Structure 1
Amino acid sequence: MDMNLPKHYRHFQRYSEIAQILVKNGLGFIISQLELNKYLPFRKRINTAERPTGKMLAVKIREVLQELGPAYIKLGQLLSTRADVFPPTFITEMRKLQDKVPPEEFEIIEEFLKNELGSKYEEEIIKIEKEAEAAASIGQTHKIILKNNKSAIMKVKRPGIDKKISVDVEIMENLAKQAAERNLFNSIIRPVEIINEFKRTIKDELNFKGEMANIIRFRSDFADNPYITAPEVFSELSTVNVLIMEEIRGTKLRDVDQSHPHNKFIAELGAKALMRQVLINGFFHADPHPGNIFITGEKTIAYVDFGMVGRITEEDRDLMALLFYALINKKINILMDVILILGEKPDNFNRRRFQLDMEKILDRYYGSDLSNIEIKAVFEDLQYFIYEHQIRMPQDFFLLFRAIAVSEGVGQDLDPDFNVVEVGKDFINDILDDRIQLKKIISRVGTEIWKFGRKKYELNNQLKSFLSKLVEDDFTINFRHTNLENLISRLDIISNRLSMSLIIASLIIGSTLLIQTNMEPRIFNIPLLGFIGYSFAGVLGLLLVISIFRSGKY
């Protein structure tokens, strides 16, 4: 019998639900691989190696994630940004995941708000629309009017969602660990690393103060630009569970057509705004689809929904500028070097094949006029190329690719002649010209000298520590055994079951000897002590049989 029962069965009901959904959707092979048979009712247990492949497998996984609810939908959406890890068919399916659910009843929301905001709820809010403006798995929005008669939008977290997601994340961590121990994926897919990344992402998304900080940062970055804005936030009324911000009045871009009098200006404005976010600010709105951008004046646009943003270091900004420059000007060697600097190449990396494949991609666009090149198509080719060569890239790299592709689509909806490559070329040339100014070069040289000095100092300290341990005979070498945790766990279970079997056998033998005597008291005409021994042995035997059947190994 498994003596680690509390650890493995902490969320038995949820594990059982997950296992049954996997079976229902034809992914029973996962049950066997992760040893989830014990969470299935006996009549539903399976043991088959059959599995869907290719697109059908991706479809089935999407359906499972959709049915499992908020945490798994969010996980699928995160996986859709990892084009360096998963094949294109999988990425395409994950992008179809929908995070739309019916809103919570207003009475529940109101009670939650009273507890969260206290007296501020009635003192600061004079009116609240009971019908939700929009609803998703984590939260929903309501229109409100503040006591200063300002119209605002209130985003409130669903009561209890933190606990639900916490349970699912704990289960994901356990399953990811098991998958890693059993080597169920190739070397480029690292399940524990992916779940840790998801854990950080979902933690940020559950903290509305993080989104508030994103909005404030964006407004500050564009404070000098009268044509770009974001909603004002009311920080004194906002908490980790409630976000109150200005209501943006205007027309969503998805409702604007090519007849708008300033369509060309707005299309170019949106593209340049994204370029500035990425290459200058190092902080960008990662989901600039037409529903998240409003036209608030003749030539003014406002961004909303800052739950998903990307961040880029100063060093990576320079590399991104070089990447775009190399793509636009078809500089293969620069493009290769930038990708290899940004990414993590596999042990069996083949640079010659990498260069030949890169040339093959760029040859498709060689000789084409800039106005005929779609950046979305180029990025899709580049993403597949990176996946084929198993180069792991930073997540923000693909968030940026998607943001630029979306920006291109939005611009073309407004202006059929819009071309993000042409806009980007002018912007990047300005950026590069700015960065080769003498004072900028001197500043960067100073930074590099400091980095070199810091590394030299760290190396000296490490060398001193190493030599000191050698002299003091305190030098140790640690060996790490990999993939033995599962074996040890199985050996523990086996030894526990053998011990239980010996105890049962001893009880049966001892009780058999006792019933041969005339010992008093007696029950059913046999000694009471012998009856108790048989009963105890029967209960333990039943528990042992149940444990074996639940494990699925019989």
Structure 2
Amino acid sequence: MASPVRAAVQDIKRLRTISSVLTRHGFSAVARRAGLGRFVGDGGLRQESEGFEGDEAVEALIGPDRSEAAVRFRRVLEDLGPTFVKLGQVLSTRPDLVPKEFLDELRKLQDAVSPMPMETIRAQVESSLGLTLEEAYASFEEKPLAAASIGQVHRATLKDGTQVVVKVQRLGIDEQIRADLDLLYYLARFLEATVEEIELYSPTAIVQEFERAILAELDFRQEAKNVQEFGKNFADVAGVSVPFVYDELTRAEVMTMEFVQAGKLADIEGGSELAETVLHNLLDAMVKMVLYDGFFHGDPHPGNIMVRDDGSLIFIDFGLVGRLSSRQQDDLIGLILNVLTGDVDAIARALLEMGDPVGRVNLREFRSDVERVRDKYISATVGDFDVSQFIQEVMDAAQYHRIRLNPNYAVLVKTAATIEGIMRRLKPDMDVMAIGLPYARDLALKKYSAKKLAQSALSAAVGVSSFVTKVPQQLDQVLMDLEGGNLTVTVRNESLDQLGEVLNTLGTRLFLGVIASGLAVVAAMLLRPFDREIFGVSVLLIIGILAALSATTLFWWSLGWHVAASRKGKKLRLGPLMRLMRRD
């Protein structure tokens, strides 16, 4: 039992740290709403958010100035360490969930930390590879090339003289991240159980997505597979490549890759001939990744793209990747073509098909919002057309109408915004439409090719054939059930459901009232021999009158509270509370 007790103590200490950091940065109301009130000192803000919904709740929690709150939130994540920094980086890929002010700040998160000492690096490499450092490498530089929250990178030389880089995982980071994940699940479930307006954002689903992403990043073998898959996809593309991975010197905590002698993308002068070549290679690579391979780099910032003298690109750091199915690729191509043609109805339908509506969507209002965004940007000059801003506003419209997009689309949006920023720096006077039209023609041919249309027609024919074949059998079953008296019709009505709850509550209270009355009568009969009089009035009579008045007052108060709560839609949801302490 020592280990669970020790873990529980550590969790309590971590919760106290989280509440302390939240309070220090002005988020004590958030800490209280998340169930951390017991850890928040009296010096914290007394602001509460009970009774608020929607935007009022947001303003009560973070204040009216979201930009200032976003800065404070970024600092909170930085103070809480590697797990929360990574969480912020994942959230920065979700414009469908996170307001723009917070996205801008979260994209500034840097996970640079103090480097590990060489003794720790040696111990980690040797325990992971099962070889001494001297047996695995001819030389190993002590000074790291880079240090981050998950690990750090060192330059080394193989026995045959090949120059490599070795990525080494930070010692103990796995246990720390898994412990923090447990706390994040607890906080997410507590919020879902107590804050009704947060259901749209699905904190538990966000933590689940984050868990998949960060645990995959903790296993360098998965990153090695991503590098190799990308290299296979671009094996025949002259302008794009990835470093070679040495499987025999790669484990979950250590990865050895080819050292690439190339320059930095950030050092290329915008508007130069080399920048033009890099721009087209980059755009070709992104179109192939996203719309042909369905497997793309999730974080292609300038630090993760190297450039050779001839303008060819080398992608590195495949800890975050995105995937799209063939159906998702077709939906995305259709959306791009609809945006270029300005078809509002088609854009709205495409977004609905790509997303997962939470509740009923008012199609007329949603179409109106999409049309407003389209008209705003269609009037812009080609040079001023901001693709990332356009996508952000479309995402905001989808979020407003409670349409949840697939996480892979969210990663893609972040990737597209990053690539657009790089392209505009490489070519400041870039004409987005002129560059994009040739690709749009190719995409149209891909989507509406004879082979694709034939496949769609065949799929539709098979579906219709299956439907026609099954309908008679299903109708026979319905008629047989009707004839045999086995057909039942269930009618659901929210008002009737609520009426049932009200009647059940009132019935329970009435039953308890009858029991209480019976007990009161019996008690009066038993106490009758001991009755006394005050000014000629029975003491038991006085007590009975007071009890009756109290019961009547409590009854009408509870009934009024129940009606008021029913009107406000407030309810105690037992399901999330029961799941609170259970992690699936």
- In structure 2, what residue type is equivalent to 1:257? E
The answer to whether the 8 A contact 2:213-2:320 is kept is no
1:123 aligns with 2:131: no
- Rounded to whole Å, the distance in 1 between the matches of 2:465 and 2:183 is 45
- Give runs of aligned pairs for residues 134-153 of structure 1, distance below 5 A: 134-153=146-165
| Equivalent position SS for 2:349 | helix
- Rounded to whole Å, the distance in 2 between the matches of 1:94 and 1:455 is 49
- Rounded to whole Å, the distance in 2 between the matches of 1:151 and 1:452 is 60
- Rounded to whole Å, the distance in 2 between the matches of 1:371 and 1:32 is 48
- In structure 1, what residue type is equivalent to 2:420? E
1:426 aligns with 2:438: yes
CA offset at residue 165 of structure 1? 0.5
- Which residue, out of 407, 410, 415, partners 2:419? 407
CA offset at residue 211 of structure 1? 0.8
Can you list the C-alpha shifts for 1:312-362, whole angstroms capped at 9, x where unaligned?
Answer: 000010111111111222121221111010012232421111111111111
The answer to whether the 8 A contact 1:144-1:153 is kept is yes
Q: 1:52 to 1:361 in 2, by over 3 A?
A: closer
Can you list the C-alpha shifts for 1:348-407, whole angstroms capped at 9, x where unaligned?
Answer: 421111111111111123355544423123223222222222211112212212222222
Q: 1:458 to 1:45 in 2, by over 3 A?
A: farther
CA offset at residue 171 of structure 1? 0.6
CA offset at residue 256 of structure 1? 0.9
CA offset at residue 36 of structure 1? 2.3
| Equivalent position SS for 1:262 | helix
Can you list the C-alpha shifts for 1:402-451, whole angstroms capped at 9, x where unaligned?
Answer: 22222222122222333344333211211221332323322344455567
The answer to whether the 8 A contact 1:32-1:47 is kept is no
- Which residue, out of 317, 326, 336, partners 1:305? 317
- Rounded to whole Å, the distance in 2 between the matches of 1:449 and 1:126 is 63
| Equivalent position SS for 1:188 | helix
- In structure 1, what residue type is equivalent to 2:337? Y
Aligned match of 2:504: none
The answer to whether the 8 A contact 1:408-1:420 is kept is no
- Rounded to whole Å, the distance in 1 between the matches of 2:165 and 2:470 is 50
- Which residue, out of 69, 79, 83, partners 2:81? 69
- Rounded to whole Å, the distance in 2 between the matches of 1:332 and 1:140 is 48
The answer to whether the 8 A contact 2:167-2:255 is kept is yes
The answer to whether the 8 A contact 1:408-1:419 is kept is no
Flag the structure with higher helix content.
Answer: 2
- Give runs of aligned pairs for residues 137-176 of structure 1, distance below 5 A: 137-176=149-188
The answer to whether the 8 A contact 2:26-2:45 is kept is no
- Rounded to whole Å, the distance in 2 between the matches of 1:431 and 1:290 is 27
Aligned match of 1:23: 23
CA offset at residue 262 of structure 1? 2.8
Q: 1:430 to 1:35 in 2, by over 3 A?
A: closer
Aligned match of 2:355: 343
Aligned match of 1:218: 230
- Rounded to whole Å, the distance in 2 between the matches of 1:345 and 1:11 is 36
Aligned match of 1:502: none
| Equivalent position SS for 2:182 | helix
- In structure 1, what residue type is equivalent to 2:306? F
CA offset at residue 66 of structure 1? 1.3
Q: 1:45 to 1:422 in 2, by over 3 A?
A: closer
Q: 1:187 to 1:452 in 2, by over 3 A?
A: farther
Q: 1:454 to 1:122 in 2, by over 3 A?
A: farther
Aligned match of 2:93: 81
The answer to whether the 8 A contact 1:325-1:425 is kept is no
The answer to whether the 8 A contact 2:322-2:412 is kept is yes
1:261 aligns with 2:273: yes
CA offset at residue 281 of structure 1? 0.4
- Rounded to whole Å, the distance in 2 between the matches of 1:111 and 1:457 is 66
Aligned match of 1:328: 340
Q: 1:409 to 1:26 in 2, by over 3 A?
A: closer
| TM-score, normalising length: structure 1 | 0.77
- Rounded to whole Å, the distance in 1 between the matches of 2:404 and 2:136 is 49
| Equivalent position SS for 1:178 | helix
- Rounded to whole Å, the distance in 1 between the matches of 2:5 and 2:260 is 53
- Rounded to whole Å, the distance in 1 between the matches of 2:404 and 2:468 is 28
CA offset at residue 166 of structure 1? 0.7
Q: 1:450 to 1:32 in 2, by over 3 A?
A: same
- Rounded to whole Å, the distance in 2 between the matches of 1:144 and 1:350 is 60
Can you list the C-alpha shifts for 1:75-111, whole angstroms capped at 9, x where unaligned?
Answer: 1122222222232222223222221111111111111
- Rounded to whole Å, the distance in 2 between the matches of 1:235 and 1:72 is 31
| Equivalent position SS for 1:240 | coil
| Equivalent position SS for 1:306 | coil
- Rounded to whole Å, the distance in 2 between the matches of 1:233 and 1:448 is 44
- Which residue, out of 198, 212, 215, partners 1:200? 212
The answer to whether the 8 A contact 1:279-1:321 is kept is yes
1:314 aligns with 2:300: no
Can you list the C-alpha shifts for 1:40-66, whole angstroms capped at 9, x where unaligned?
Answer: 67x768865275414143333222211
Return 293-302 or 132-141, whichever deviates more.
293-302
- Rounded to whole Å, the distance in 1 between the matches of 2:468 and 2:23 is 57
- In structure 2, what residue type is equivalent to 1:18? I
Query: Higher relative contact order by CA 8 Å / sep ≥ 6: 1 or 2?
Result: 1
- Which residue, out of 185, 192, 199, partners 1:187? 199
CA offset at residue 268 of structure 1? 1.6
| Equivalent position SS for 1:186 | helix
- In structure 1, what residue type is equivalent to 2:424? Q
Q: 1:315 to 1:52 in 2, by over 3 A?
A: closer
Q: Percent sequence identity over matched residues? A: 28
- In structure 2, what residue type is equivalent to 1:392? R
- Rounded to whole Å, the distance in 1 between the matches of 2:45 and 2:419 is 47
Aligned match of 1:552: none
Shift >4 Å, 4+ stretches: 4-10, 43-48, 447-461
The answer to whether the 8 A contact 2:304-2:315 is kept is yes
The answer to whether the 8 A contact 1:140-1:155 is kept is yes
- Rounded to whole Å, the distance in 2 between the matches of 1:347 and 1:123 is 61
The answer to whether the 8 A contact 1:286-1:399 is kept is yes
- In structure 2, what residue type is equivalent to 1:20? S
- Give runs of aligned pairs for residues 282-293 of structure 1, distance below 5 A: 282-293=294-305
- Rounded to whole Å, the distance in 2 between the matches of 1:117 and 1:397 is 37
Aligned match of 1:380: 392
- In structure 1, what residue type is equivalent to 2:418? V
